[in-house]
């Protein structure tokens, strides 16, 4: 019996709550000609309308719902793609599996979302609210699908219970949890690094609160697979393969989406009123790189200039002396300069006085335990007078067992 893989849309494939609530807010305030406050902690739905506005007429209700659908596209940039689940969808597509998008979303909004993230073509069929009228699994039965052959990806508990009631086996239901930014601690005790005087010393003298967006798996050629975090980081380095402008632009927009989601969370989790954002410099001196090899820093700068609670320190650490390019050293292409040692950041970089007495968010593309580039850079900022340093990386290398 061939399996059929069914994917829900809202908060399964794509997180849409923020965009949904913003669209409802605009629609309600426009129709009612006054400001209403929506709780952004949970998803606002049609059923909430009459609770928010008890004396709402049917005409007003229908006008708000219609207007909300119309303006949703204005807030589509506030949505977030579930990259891990989309990786699964892509693999199923490549294997020739039968995949279905099944959603209670109206077709116009669902099509907007799928087009925005370029995932429409991964589905053999797509069914929307206009098709199933809120009764998704009965609808599948009516279309002749064998319920026992369905593998369901769904985030909502009520919808899962509904699916079970229609005969989808519990073991065939994958409850989807959106991948959130992860927190960890960079431990001083693990920061042993080569000393130029001989032997080893700790390059970091205190534990540091740190965050990363997604695990990074070295090897396996994952950097060649479009859409992976490995591919994104490799694209920004732009030193193994020279990427086209279109590929680089796509990487920039993807990183913008990541940063605008993760960075405000850091501000909240660390209870910081303001963070000055610095960037770990690349291994070689500043003048060694083409402009299209510095897009990581310029993208970070672009995002923080548009977020509240952050100030631009992206040029606070500038490399003036070459060091070994660690990610290319195994292949013999690390170039001129020394491998990491205690104090390498202060010895090879100029650090701005603007870091003094500031809470710093230090960003790097990839954190790898035991390399100690990031640990040394953190300590250099502390030695330069930073009040506090928090660390964030796009990827964090999974240590091989």
Task: Please give the pLDDT value at position 242.
Answer: 85
Task: Tell whether the model's pLDDT for residue 391 goes beyond 90.
Answer: yes
Neighbours of 101 (CB within 10 A): 23
What would the mean pLDDT of 105-109 be, rounded to a whole number? 92
Alpha carbon 210 to its chain's center? 16
Tell me the three state secondary structure of residue 52. Answer: helix
pTM of the predicted model as reported, rounded to 2 decimal places: 0.60
Neighbours of 54 (CB within 10 A): 7
What are the pLDDT digits (tens) for 326-378?
765 565 665 788 999 999 999 999 999 999 999 999 999 999 998 999 999 99
Task: Kindly tell me the sign of the dihedral angle through the C-alpha atoms of 121, 122, 127, 129.
Answer: negative
Neighbours of 33 (CB within 10 A): 6
For residues 324 and 326, the model is more confident at 324
Q: Are 340 and 194 in contact (CB under 8 A)?
A: yes
Domain 182-397 classification at class level: alpha beta
Task: Please give the pLDDT value at position 401.
Answer: 46
């Amino acid at each position: 019996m061939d399996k059929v893989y069914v994917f829900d849309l809202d908060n399964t494939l794509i997180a849409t709550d923020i965009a949904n609530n913003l669209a409802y807010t605009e629609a309600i305030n426009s129709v009612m000609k006054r400001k209403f406050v929506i709780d952004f902690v949970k998803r606002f739905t049609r059923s909430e309308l009459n609770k928010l506005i008890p004396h709402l007429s049917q005409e007003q209700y229908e006008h708000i719902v219609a207007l909300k659908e119309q303006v949703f596209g204005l807030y589509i940039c506030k949505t977030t793609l579930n990259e891990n689940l989309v990786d699964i969808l892509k693999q199923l597509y490549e294997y020739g599996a039968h995949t279905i998008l099944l959603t209670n979303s109206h077709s116009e909004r669902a099509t907007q979302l799928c087009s925005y993230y370029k995932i429409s073509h991964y589905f053999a069929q797509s069914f929307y609210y206009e098709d199933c009228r809120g009764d998704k699994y009965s609808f599948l039965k009516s279309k002749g699908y064998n319920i026992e052959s369905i593998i369901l990806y769904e985030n909502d508990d009520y919808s899962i219970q509904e699916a079970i009631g229609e005969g989808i086996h519990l073991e065939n239901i994958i409850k989807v949890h959106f991948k959130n930014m992860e927190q960890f601690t960079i431990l001083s005790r693990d920061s042993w690094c080569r000393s130029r005087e001989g032997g080893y010393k700790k390059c970091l003298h205190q534990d540091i609160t740190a965050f990363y967006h997604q695990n990074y798996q070295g090897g396996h050629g994952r950097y060649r697979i479009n859409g992976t975090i490995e591919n994104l980081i490799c694209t920004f380095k732009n030193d193994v393969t020279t990427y086209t402008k279109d590929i680089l632009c796509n990487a920039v927009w993807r990183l913008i989406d990541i940063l605008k989601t993760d960075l405000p969370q850091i501000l909240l989790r660390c209870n910081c009123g303001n963070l000055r954002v610095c960037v770990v410099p690349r291994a070689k001196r500043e003048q060694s790189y083409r402009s299209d090899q510095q897009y990581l820093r310029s993208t970070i700068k672009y995002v923080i200039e548009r977020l509240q609670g952050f100030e631009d320190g992206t040029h606070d650490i500038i490399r003036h002396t070459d060091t070994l390019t660690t990610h290319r050293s195994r292949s013999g292409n690390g170039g001129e300069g020394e491998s990491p040692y205690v104090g390498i950041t202060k010895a090879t970089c100029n650090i701005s006085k603007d870091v003094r007495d500031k809470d710093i968010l230090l960003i790097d593309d990839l954190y790898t335990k035991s390399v100690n580039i990031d640990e040394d850079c953190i300590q250099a900022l502390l030695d330069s007078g930073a009040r506090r340093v928090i660390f964030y990386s796009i990827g964090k290398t999974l240590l091989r067992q």
